[in-house]
């Protein structure tokens, strides 16, 4: 079957799923621009909550298992290394809408919620890693915060894990990179891996950056629950970046 783009905020997604009649649906569509979610709250709700509800109810109707990709931003960041048992308390609209999406999915008979963190990899749209590479390659100085900790996740690595969790799992899992790191240290590792100028990277605090949406200071995730369930090893930052570099060299 050929790929088809479907707007999950419309009834077309219901018709599409009923026509395809899949056994498993991996739902990774989302409005993920955190600052933009703060400005466009209705759109964020339409995609992350209402769209997810359409998919959820349709999956229940056709008997499909739903795998929902969620986020570390459902937490307030006061603790870090969160487990699946920790209480959610999002500090921005993006996190709130994703948590509401989780609630719709958790009402199903057959589901997986997979929370992940700072996805990166080669893609036409910029992510944190490709943005840092682009800026430094062009000689642009960048300011990166030192006080926001996450578990960056290679998208390819996550994809492999989701396929396994979709078959073997049920319920809530944290599926993220295996290393807790702050954004500044992450940016320096990107620069080192791709042999770029680290002097262009300046450390700053979150307060200095003055972002529209508040960010959790430490939303790192524990992967102890999911690790025994999957064969794929969740990579640390160096391993993930090296995988990206090898792919780049293969395509030269």
Give me the active site residues, please. Answer: 94
CA dist 120 and 133 (Å) reads 12
Q: Is 115 helix (H, G, I), strand (E, B) or coil?
A: strand
Please report, for residues 44, 49, 75, 80, 242, the alpha-carbon distance to residue 86 in angstroms, rounded to integers and kept in the order given: 25, 22, 9, 10, 32
Q: Which two tokens stand for residue 53?
A: 């509800």
Please report, for residues 23, 109, 146, 196, 221, the alpha-carbon distance to residue 43 in angstroms, rounded to integers and kept in the order given: 29, 28, 31, 37, 27
CA dist 27 and 6 (Å) reads 12
Sequence-separated (6 or more) residues with CB below 8 Å from residue 245: 193, 194
CA dist 177 and 238 (Å) reads 10
DSSP-derived pairing of the beta strands 181-182 and 119-120: unpaired
């Amino acid at each position: 079957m050929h790929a088809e783009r479907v707007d999950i905020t419309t009834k077309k997604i219901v018709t599409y799923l009923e026509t395809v009649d899949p056994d498993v649906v991996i739902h990774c569509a989302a409005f993920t621009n955190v600052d933009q979610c703060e400005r466009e709250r209705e759109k964020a709700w339409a995609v992350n909550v209402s769209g997810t509800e359409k998919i959820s109810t349709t999956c229940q109707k056709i008997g499909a298992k739903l795998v929902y990709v969620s986020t570390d931003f459902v937490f307030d960041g006061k603790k870090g290394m969160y487990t699946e048992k920790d209480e959610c308390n999002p500090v921005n609209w993006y996190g709130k809408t994703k948590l509401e999406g989780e609630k719709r999915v958790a009402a199903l008979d057959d589901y997986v919620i997979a929370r992940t963190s700072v996805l990166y990899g080669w893609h036409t749209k910029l992510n944190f890693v490709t943005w840092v590479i682009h800026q430094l390659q062009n000689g642009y100085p960048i300011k990166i915060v030192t006080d926001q900790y996450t578990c960056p996740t290679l998208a390819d690595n996550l994809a492999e894990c989701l396929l396994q969790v979709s078959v073997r799992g049920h319920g809530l899992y944290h599926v993220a990179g295996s290393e807790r790191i702050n954004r500044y240290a992450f940016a320096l590792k990107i620069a080192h891996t791709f042999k770029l100028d680290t002097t262009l990277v300046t450390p700053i605090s979150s307060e200095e950056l003055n972002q529209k949406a508040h960010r959790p200071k430490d939303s790192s995730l524990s992967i102890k629950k999911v690790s025994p369930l999957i064969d794929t090893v969740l990579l640390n930052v160096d391993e993930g970046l090296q995988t990206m570099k090898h792919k780049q060299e293969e395509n030269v």
